[in-house]
Amino acid sequence: MSARPLPRSRLDNLIPPLVDGHALVALVPATGDLKWAAAAAWDVARAAAQHGRRVALVDLWIEDPSLHEVVGLTPSEGIVDAFEYGVSLTKAAHEVDHVFFIAAGAYTAHPGDLFGHERWKKLHGGFRVEGALLLLYLSAGALARLSAVPDGLIVLSPDGFEPESSIGQGVSTALERGIPLVGVVRERWTPEPEGGGTTPHPSRPGFPARPDVRAGSRRTRPAVVAATLMGGAAVGWVLFARGGESIRASGAEHRAASPAPPPQRARPTAVPPPSLDTLPWTVQLAAYARADKALALADRLASREHLPAFVTPIALEGRRGGGAAVWYRVLAGAFTTRDSAVLARAALWAHRVAPKGQGDLLRAPYSFSLAQTGRPDRLRARGIPAVSWGADGALLVGAFETPDQASLAEAQLKRAHVHASLVTRTRTRP
């Protein structure tokens, strides 16, 4: 996989021509240093906006959002509040350094619904019509679940990344989906030699510190998108209007159409425990366009880490009307609570099974339980991504967030004449 290096000191010159004509670009960290990745994401956004182009940056690192910290903002309403509770995106957006920033917002127990929401496609189209740019900061796993197909992908990694690594495989999966790789933002052109010194301060040459802007953002809330873009004109650019995603309306019309937002929720540290007869929480580590690759990773997790893994077929819309494509998620483990899944993910990081920062937490309580038991080899040969569960030889297919999400797997089972029932996984220790 060849990737153009984009050193941070040169982003002012490199980024604008690379994203010209793009309306939606994904910013995907491929490093465990998420503090560095968040700062680099802001550098990309500032570079894209420097010649007057309208640029929005959205923090979709839902599990541990940090983009707001880079510019000194406090947590506020954001993308989750907009998609789940109807908060206007113009209300959630802040202008910082000529970039319209939308934070993650409130906690959500259903991140899969957020990434798969049809509204992303409308936003993509709206930004394209307006000649604007939407930057989404998210993991490779979240990108695999995004309903819209971005026009480009920018990887964030200080020393580059290896295609064979776990994160590199996630990037490869995105490329197989038809997303062009724009380049890799690095700290410098080539990796620093061993013993080459300390990591440069974020206020490096090419992107001087902006103390006045950051100090102002700490004292007062920055202007929201709608107020800034009106610019005194009778008809303004309402980039994030509800229902239309890109429509023209006066400021008064927009304010009249926007419902009163619900009170902001505090982000809880944990979710209420689920019913004791289920193991709903799991960790998505990867997604592949081929079932055999997904099953190989699931088998390695089960044999080497003693961690049962599920392979879930998901239908994602193809690029430019090419029809739905089937992707196979690899979901590791089944846990009673979200906190248990967090601890398991931390253990995977500590044992170097997955790079730090990789792994999305999902609440996916449903699986297909097959009537037959034993080894899954014959079923796999028939296109059924079955995995073993428990000591009694039970076979399961997938881990699904909703029964509707299981429809593709159900169709595969019916075509293969395999009897199965959609169940919740029990507390029986695997």
pLDDT band at 164 (very low <50, low <70, confident <90, very high): low
Residue 301 maps to a domain:
yes
pLDDT band at 135 (very low <50, low <70, confident <90, very high): very high
Confidence check: pLDDT of 166 > 80? no
Written as six digits, the tokens of 44 are 């990309």
- Residues 234 and 295 reside in one and the same domain: no
In the chain, the percentage of residues whose pLDDT exceeds 70 is 74
Q: Which residue has the higher pLDDT, 165 or 93?
A: 93
Task: Check residue 343 and give its pLDDT.
Answer: 86
List the one residue out of 60, 53, 109 whose CA is nearest residue 84: 109
Confidence check: pLDDT of 223 > 60? no
- Cα–chain center distance at 113: 11
How many angstroms separate the CA atoms of 197 and 35, rounded? Answer: 18
- Residues 231 and 319 reside in one and the same domain: no
Angle between helix 11-19 and helix 34-49 axes, rounded to 10 deg: 70
Going by their DSSP bridges, the two strands 133-137 and 55-59 should be labelled as parallel
Final residue before a domain boundary, out of 225, 257, 289: 257
Amino acid sitting at position 212? D
Confidence check: pLDDT of 336 > 70? yes
In the chain, the percentage of residues whose pLDDT exceeds 90 is 33
pLDDT band at 356 (very low <50, low <70, confident <90, very high): confident
- Residues 221 and 309 reside in one and the same domain: no
Q: What is the pLDDT of residues 270-297, one digit of tens each?
A: 434 434 457 888 999 888 888 999 999 9
pLDDT band at 160 (very low <50, low <70, confident <90, very high): confident
What's the whole-number mean pLDDT along residues 237-241? 41
Residue 266 maps to a domain:
no
The CA dihedral of 118, 39, 330, 356, to the nearest 10 degrees, is -160
Residue 41 maps to a domain:
yes
Task: Check residue 69 and give its pLDDT.
Answer: 92
Residue 290 maps to a domain:
yes
Final residue before a domain boundary, out of 241, 257, 273: 257
Query: Which residues form the domain of 114?
Result: 5-257
How many angstroms separate the CA atoms of 162 and 165, rounded? Answer: 5
pLDDT band at 374 (very low <50, low <70, confident <90, very high): confident
Task: Check residue 258 and give its pLDDT.
Answer: 41
pLDDT band at 53 (very low <50, low <70, confident <90, very high): very high
Mean pLDDT score across all residues of the chain: 76
Q: Which residue has the higher pLDDT, 218 or 35?
A: 35
What's the whole-number mean pLDDT along residues 75-79? 85
- Residues 245 and 288 reside in one and the same domain: no
pLDDT band at 55 (very low <50, low <70, confident <90, very high): very high
Confidence check: pLDDT of 248 > 50? no
What's the whole-number mean pLDDT along residues 390-396? 81
Residue 264 maps to a domain:
no
Task: Check residue 429 and give its pLDDT.
Answer: 42
Task: Check residue 210 and give its pLDDT.
Answer: 37
Task: Check residue 2 and give its pLDDT.
Answer: 58
- Residues 232 and 191 reside in one and the same domain: yes
- Provide the CATH number for the domain around residue 225: 3.40.50.300
Task: Check residue 371 and give its pLDDT.
Answer: 87
Q: Which residue has the higher pLDDT, 38 or 226?
A: 38
- Residues 23 and 138 reside in one and the same domain: yes
Confidence check: pLDDT of 47 > 80? yes
Q: Which residue has the higher pLDDT, 352 or 176?
A: 352
The pTM assigned to this predicted structure is: 0.55
Residue 430 maps to a domain:
no
- Residues 238 and 328 reside in one and the same domain: no
- Residues 344 and 211 reside in one and the same domain: no
- Residues 312 and 196 reside in one and the same domain: no
Which residues lie closer than 8 Å to 103 by C-beta, 6 or more apart?
59, 65, 67, 68, 73, 75, 76, 77, 78, 79, 92, 94
pLDDT band at 214 (very low <50, low <70, confident <90, very high): very low
What's the whole-number mean pLDDT along residues 300-306? 87
Task: Please name the residue that has the structure tokens 């959500």.
Answer: 108
List the one residue out of 141, 133, 168, 136 whose CA is nearest residue 31: 168
- Residues 138 and 48 reside in one and the same domain: yes
Task: Check residue 59 and give its pLDDT.
Answer: 96
- Residues 239 and 348 reside in one and the same domain: no
Task: Check residue 162 and give its pLDDT.
Answer: 66
Report the domain count for the chain. 2
How many angstroms separate the CA atoms of 400 and 312, rounded? Answer: 7
DSSP state string for 348-381: HHHTTSS-TT--EEEE--EEEEES--S-SHHHHH
Q: How far is CA 260 from CA 37, 82, 88, 382, in A?
A: 35, 12, 9, 53
Confidence check: pLDDT of 348 > 80? yes
Least confident segment among 29-38, 137-146, 220-229: 220-229
Amino acid sitting at position 170? G
- Residues 340 and 384 reside in one and the same domain: yes
pLDDT band at 313 (very low <50, low <70, confident <90, very high): very high
pLDDT band at 255 (very low <50, low <70, confident <90, very high): very low
Residue 14 maps to a domain:
yes
Residue 262 maps to a domain:
no
Which residues lie closer than 8 Å to 405 by C-beta, 6 or more apart?
112, 314, 366
